[in-house]
Amino acid sequence: MEPLILYFVLFFPGVYISSFSGAGQAVETIPFLIFHELGRTLTYTIPSIALVWYIIGKKRLMALISRKFRKKDLFAFVAGFSGLCAISLGISLLVSFFLRYFDLAPPPKVEAPVNYAGWIVLVFSCLGTGYLEESFFRYYLLTKYEKTVPQTAIRVVYSTFLFSLCHIYEGPGGFINSVLAGILLSTLFIRYRSLHGVAWAHSAYNIFVYVMELFVH
């Protein structure tokens, strides 16, 4: 019950607003507003990370923070970032194919920052988002209930489903992308036990999405 309560407190309000506030209309563009993004990071993302880490536990958190950099962190980052980019490219090609033959709404586009200050805020925001989502969906859900739910596959499915639900506003393509991304990040976390690695990969991928928008447009 605890993970569901925490999930609905931290993530469901954003899903609800994104999915239903537009009277059923698909989101076409996700604007980047520097003050809005900075405010969201300071008032929501950082306090949410603090809450998740508090629930994880002081001893485990201190062990995580005080641990020296490991090669496994780098391996998890490289494999995670490469895999996320490959998944995104494959889903984008698949979505483009279906859009050509079916009357489907295109996935929402993101607006990239227009100045250096915006990019600094974006990096700060993506890093916070990466650590928040990986702390909850990977570190918390995949380790807290190892004894009560020893079946790894069940915990991965549970974690991936909740993670994907947060991205349902991105449409079918975004949902499928998040399913595959969730499986990949869960697998890497279980393999390397590296929160830092998967969080860095998640953050770098989010930044990469914005960088690609510069070349697309």
Dump pLDDT digits (tens) for 121-180.
999 999 999 999 999 999 999 988 888 888 999 999 999 999 998 888 777 888 899 999
Residue 16 pLDDT greater than 50, yes or no: no
Residue 100 pLDDT greater than 60, yes or no: yes
Query: Which of 215, 211, 216 is CA-nearest to residue 32?
Result: 211
CB 122 within 8 A of CB 113: yes
* Residue 92 to residue 90: CA distance in whole angstroms: 5
Residue 108 pLDDT greater than 80, yes or no: no
Q: What is the pLDDT of residues 44-63, one digit of tens each?
A: 999 999 999 888 876 666 66
* Residue 183 to residue 191: CA distance in whole angstroms: 12
* Residue 195 to residue 147: CA distance in whole angstroms: 20
* Residue 47 to residue 2: CA distance in whole angstroms: 18
SS (H, E, C) 124-190: HHHHHHHHHHHHHHHHHHHHCCCCCCCCHHHHHHHHHHHHHHCCHHHHHHHHHHHHHHHHHHHHHHH
Query: Which of 208, 65, 19, 69 is CA-nearest to residue 130?
Result: 208
Residue 64 pLDDT greater than 90, yes or no: no
Q: What is residue 94's predicted lDDT score, i.e. its pLDDT? A: 84
Q: What is residue 22's predicted lDDT score, i.e. its pLDDT? A: 44
Q: DSSP per residue over 100-130, as a string?
A: HHS--PPPPEEPPPSSHHHHHHHHHHHHHHH
The pair of structure tokens assigned to 95 is 């979505």
Specify the pTM: 0.87
φ and ψ at residue 43, rounded to 5 degrees: -100, -15
| Residue 30 DSSP SS3 | strand
